[in-house]
Structure 1
Amino acid sequence: MLKTNSLLTPKDVAERLGVSITTLATWRCTKRYALTYVKIGRLVRYRMADVEAFENSRSHEVAGL
């Protein structure tokens, strides 16, 4: 199990979210979604806690259930 402060690669995050690495890059460039990332030189990394917060922000309740 990963710690919440673990740094994930774009590949890891893309697989977790079910999108392509290119989609993540597009989101970063266009700021379409508030998925926080960390730049280390040229490298892009994502904190597990930020990915989980992003997933939680995208969840919706279904009325009447």
Structure 2
Amino acid sequence: MTDELLTPRQVHERYGFSPQTLANWRWCGHGPSYIKTSPGRSGRVKYRRSAIEAWLNAQTVKVGGDAA
């Protein structure tokens, strides 16, 4: 089974992060890992579903943990 590749629009539909938020995170070096299929500003960006899931898991704050 291959890991599904999602466009920023598909990430928005499934996870609620807007394409602009994703672009801001990329520019700032935050957010989930992504794939850029061609260089430059016009390059297409894709996200592996597993990268989104891993990033979300890393952002999860456990109740009663050290930091909130």
Q: Into which bin does the TM-score normalised by the smaller protein fall? A: 0.7 to 0.9
Highest RCO, 1 vs 2 (Cα 8 Å, sep ≥ 6)? 1
Q: CA RMSD in A?
A: 1.9
- Provide runs of 4+ in structure 1 moved above 4 Å: none
1:7 aligns with one of 5, 19, 29: 5
Work out the number of aligned pairs and report it.
Answer: 61
Letter in 2 for 1:61: K
CA shift digits 1:4-55 (9 cap, x unpaired) = 6110000111233322110100100111x24100011211000011010011
Structure 1: stretches of 5+ with no match in the other structure: none
TM-score, structure 2 as length reference: 0.76
**In structure 1, distance between residues paired with 2:14 and 2:4:** 14
State the distance in 1 between where 2:48 and 2:34 align. Answer: 7
Matched AA of 1:6: E
Q: Between the two proteins, what is the percent identity of the paired residues?
A: 41
